[in-house]
A and B are shown apart, each in its own frame.
Chain A
Amino acid sequence: MKKLLLVLLVLAMSLPVFAAGQQESSSKEGMTKLGVMVQPYFNGVVAMYIRDQGWAEEAGLDIDLQVYSNGSTANEALAAELWDIGFQGAAYVFGVINTDAKLVGNYEETRGDTLFVRPDSDILKVKGFNPTYPEVYGDPETIKDKTVIFAPGTSLHQLLIEYLERIGVGADNVDKVPMDYQTGEQVFATGEGHIIALPTPWSLTVEEKYGWKPIATLSDFVMSTGDLIVSNNAYENKKEAIKTYMGLVYRAAEELEADHNLKAEMLVKWYTENGREGNLEAAKQEAELRILITPEVQKSMEYGKPEAAIADFYAYIGNIEPEQAEMFKKNVVDDLWKEVLAD
């Protein structure tokens, strides 16, 4: 009896092992498989739109949409060769220098990254300390020794350093506390820290929610972009598929930019799909603020300049070596988008 029970127990425990092997997804016949990396933020909306419209299947692409909760896992997955093309912000620098990936085009101009303080902060007393930036608050006296909450390795990090530089405070003279956006918001709401850096959609809601005041935004200082990053392997071997997909990205950008209500609705849909509360009002503001790159914009903008600036920034704060920044700049290539937009 005992033995029988034991055997049964062992069988029951090992059953899932066999069950596990059967859920491999099969690739569709005759279609090129393309792994697409997004995050559950603004940058995923285009990929979702393309998926929902069914354009990829029409174009003969079998898309595997992969959602990563942060840049670290996305970059690790890139090193493990798990995706071919991704929508990414500032953290693309690390993926490029570590895996020889390429930046092939833009999908958005990142706006809305903002530094906030609480309404009673003494920083609000000084405005326009640096005459070049009359709308920016704070001076060395009020900023020194403050605690700043921000997400490292993002454009918010760049915002913070740019800001401190314009105000004339050394990066070591503030207390920098790394935190993801959401936890940052909660912690700041409980009274911790003096300054917080937030991207959209957070930066669009916290003023109303808590009365926090913006003191500077990234677009005050530099331009920052979201880029399409392509793994080295896909760049060498799947060029046609990548170009097809890039065409869809520009097509989606044109449709969504032509109708901001649709863009806002799609944002709400994307956020809800990823477990966040979709707020249509905030989504509308976000849709107005963050601009997707249409073919016209792509052709007219200085491609490669914001990318180079952020690489120099990472080299400056010591995350990467200066020669890696140079190598990165060589990997920002314009051949693909020029070919895609030529027709």
Chain B
Amino acid sequence: MQPLLEVQDLEVCFARRQVLRRVSFSIAPGETLGIVGESGSGKSVTALSIMGLLSRPGRVTGGRVLWHGEDLLQLPPDSHRQLRGKAMAMIFQEPMTCLNPVYTVEKQISEVLMLHRGMSKKEAAEAAADYLEQVGIAEPMARLRNYPHELSGGMRQRVMIAMALAGEPELLIADEPTTALDVTVQAQILDLLKQLQAKTGMAMILITHDLGLVAENAERGVVMYAGEVVEEGSVEELFTNPAHPYTQGLLRSLPRWGEQQDMLYTIPGTVPRRLEGIAGCAFAERCPLAEERCAEPQSMHRFSATQAARCWRTKDKVGDAEWQSR
């Protein structure tokens, strides 16, 4: 089956500094893909590049982003814009400030409906209540007349989700959708997203630094480090049998339920400030298993049918199998 979205060797620079390199992954219709990585690993830049929202000085310098087989990066900006909100929608980290303070909830949802579904003002106003109900907001008619500052953070994120749904997208990119919310609200929002996904059949890219969220919500995961994909696999594989030392380190750093630990494990060192001059593995300088050959560039090595890692040790274990993302 043709993937819904396929990212191939994406490279992004901010001014002269490279922030993404060799980023490849794909997502099938209806699937949930988790992208994990720490701050600055390039998760959000990847999402913005897919959406065509990268703004100066950011610039895609290489690679392809195939949407149903068509390269989005070659589209004229206006055609790409028309896909946004309709084919692919995005929700952001800051629900407090993502809604326009001068319009009511109704106006904001209606705008998407009028823009992408060709509804009249009146039809849109009626449909808006429907969407609020779908995202689990009580008394939708009353909430429609509210301004954003009258709503709580969780409610605002629900409104954002309603606006994303209103375009009936095939892909929803959720960039840290729950980071700014309370833990209880977090769970509700993710439940809601899953439930809506089941109903509409849209695919979702869940971007987060929280491994737990990926484990609970995604089918496959992509682990990013310093602008590179270091490992990709199904969630079971990533969590039970991680191949890349970075993924292994991340999992060791998690506190475990019921286990007495005096100190949590931490990965020594820090993320490299710049990628220039690092031809090989960006993680090598922090890696307990680093060897000399880690300074040489390498591609993803296939570990199983669905799992691959950018590490020589994987290649040693399984040999030189050709890896094709999905």
Asked if chains A and B come from one complex, the reply is no
